[in-house]
A = this chain, B = another copy of it.
Amino acid sequence: MTEKIDEKKVTPRSQDFAAWYNELIIRAELADYSPVRGCIVFRPDGFAIWENLRDELDRRIKQTGARNAYFPLFIPQSFLQKEAEHVEGFAPEVAVVTHAGGKELEEPLIIRPTSETIIHYMFAQWIHSHRDLPLMINQWCNVVRWEMRTRPFLRTSEFLWQEGHTAHVTRDEAERETLTMLEVYRSFVEDYLAVPLIAGRKSAAERFPGAEETYAIESLMPDGRALQCGTSHYLGQNFARAFEIRFLDENNELQHPHQTSWGVSTRLLGAIVMSHGDDQGLRLPPSVASMQVVVVPIWRKPGEAERVLSTSREVAGKLAEAGLRVTHDEREGVTPGFKFNDWEMRGIPLRIEIGPRDVAAGEVVLARRDIAGPAGKSKAPLAEVAPRVESILEQIQLNLYRQAKAAADSNTRQFDDYAKLCAQMAEEGSGGFAEVYWCGNPACETKIREETRATCRAIPLNQHQEGGPCIACGQPAIERAFFARAY
């Protein structure tokens, strides 16, 4: 049995973070590689996390007034070409359908890499008057971008996401919508996924193709690289002009609406795995865990089984009644130690152990996944299990955030010396976030990228510091920006 457990161990994070990540996803059965290049299979334990995440975010998106709809998977090739920057950004990575129904198509169809073009084409049919605005649409769907290098969840040829698309009468209202959604994403990812973030504006070089301004939430992973977790774009009137979307304003004059788009994807599953996992396996925030609690009955002598099982089943039943996602591990032929390791690998936030002595004492042992060893264990009287579990799950949710925040903070540094920035970024696996004054000149950004491989991840909003010399050129700069090597 011992061998079997060891076989299931993953490469330690400190030894090879990338190997740890890839192995963990397979071993914890979140996903599997597929026979199609760059595409993965979301297995039930991974997809359940996505469903929990999606349902909560969907609720929050609807609260802002957006409604769900569904647009075609296919986009006529000519549509992509209507917005100059957009086609330049996406044309190299699209998948193209040339044949269908046994015939060659007159015009090839592109599998959507994002849906601005076809959605704006439809907006032009639906928007006639200022009374039709704001129009706020969200879509949950699959998209395809033929990437050269792929990694499960982080970058796959096909992925799942939501994409919001809105049209507004005024520039001001559209800009507010862009920032509203940035904040929806920030609070959702920090509170619900327990992943700490930096939110801010993107540099011109990092903007969405066709946008006037892009905002993003970025998180620092334990290997010192930043992960873009979501984006919100102010599109101005670029697409409205390209797709001839016009409305009659209150003065009966034709205007183009101001538009936004915003999205998060299955990449968030990668953020959860990397931010919280350890060498024993996943550690899932209770909010999104497929199972929040596992009850493990423990007995040695056959005579003990009945007493233990009747109690452990009752405990599991009570927790389910309280609305918790709970599983009862009745497997035979494997030891309790094997079960513990198995559920630790799968990242279940809380384990409840019930043995003959616990039954006799009228109590259970609660073992937290977020705190290893005896420090994470406590006892609870049988009658109080449900409220105690609910309280501990809340603590675990907060603690996972605190731990991830502390790790990110310890790898976030301010630099005013370019040589020190270069030295920091040169160390493999410890780049981290560098907070620096940047004058905004693209040449300085290019210099930093080429010499340190770090890119501008975000320029925080509402900065109030005094300003200082640009880290790259020394000219006066008024804003700090976060640079990092990125996924």
Q: How far is the CA of A401 from the CA of B137 in the complex (A)?
A: 33
Please give the number of chain A residues whose Cβ is less than 8 angstroms from any Cβ of chain B in the complex. Answer: 55
- The interface-forming segment of A142-150, A214-222, A344-352, A473-481 is A142-150
Query: A44 contacts B68, CB within 8 Å?
Result: yes
Q: How far is the CA of A92 from the CA of B101 in the complex (A)?
A: 6
Query: B97 contacts A69, CB within 8 Å?
Result: no
Main secondary structure of the interface of A (DSSP, over half): mixed
Query: B95 contacts A97, CB within 8 Å?
Result: yes
Q: How many identical chains are in the complex?
A: 2
Contact pick for A68, options B51, B96, B99, CB 8 Å: B51
Q: How far is the CA of A101 from the CA of B67 in the complex (A)?
A: 33
Q: For residue A17, give the distance in angstroms from its CB to the closest CB of chain B.
A: 26
- The interface-forming segment of A34-42, A245-253, A455-463 is A34-42
- The interface-forming segment of A72-80, A231-239, A303-311 is A72-80
Interface string of A85-111 (1 = CB under 8 A from B): 000000111111111111000001101
Query: A96 contacts B98, CB within 8 Å?
Result: yes
Q: Counting CB contacts under 8 A, is A410 at the interface?
A: no
Supposing A95-B97, A97-B95 touch, asked if A72 and B39 sit within 8 A by C-beta, the answer is: yes
A residues bordering B, Cβ < 8 Å?
Answer: 32, 34-36, 39-44, 47-48, 50-51, 67-76, 79, 91-102, 108-109, 111, 118, 121-122, 125-126, 137, 141-142, 144, 146-148, 157-158, 160
- 13 interchain pairs, CB-CB under 8 A: A34-B72, A35-B76, A36-B109, A39-B74, A42-B69, A43-B69, A44-B68, A47-B69, A93-B101, A93-B102, A94-B101, A100-B146, A101-B146
